[in-house]
Amino acid sequence: MRFLAALNGRYTLRQSALILLPTIVILLVAQSIAMAAGAGHLPAEVIALTATFGTFFAMTTVINRRTRT
């Protein structure tokens, strides 16, 4: 249920930026590091996608805990 709640959450513009900007940065950095380490395209994409989802859910958890009403 927390998975669906995180996807359906309503966030302000500032909160959305705090969630999405680090997520995009992690996506690009993780894929670049994986490619530089010699991983192929598919493994690098899987690593980057996993890191991206982890970052997204970590940021939504932090924001949800800090803005409880």
Give pLDDT, residue 3.
60
pLDDT tens across 4-55, in order? 665 666 778 888 888 889 999 999 999 999 889 888 889 889 989 999 999 9
Residue at token pair 């690009």: 28
User: Which residue ranges make up each domain of the chain?
Assistant: 2-66
Higher pLDDT pick, 18 / 68: 18
Question: C-alpha dihedral over 49, 50, 53, 55, to 10 degrees?
Answer: -110
| pLDDT score for 10 | 77
The pLDDT of residue 29 is 92
Distance CA 16, CA 41 (A): 29
Note the pLDDT of residue 19.
Answer: 86
Under 8 Å CB-to-CB from 54, ≥6 apart: which residues? none
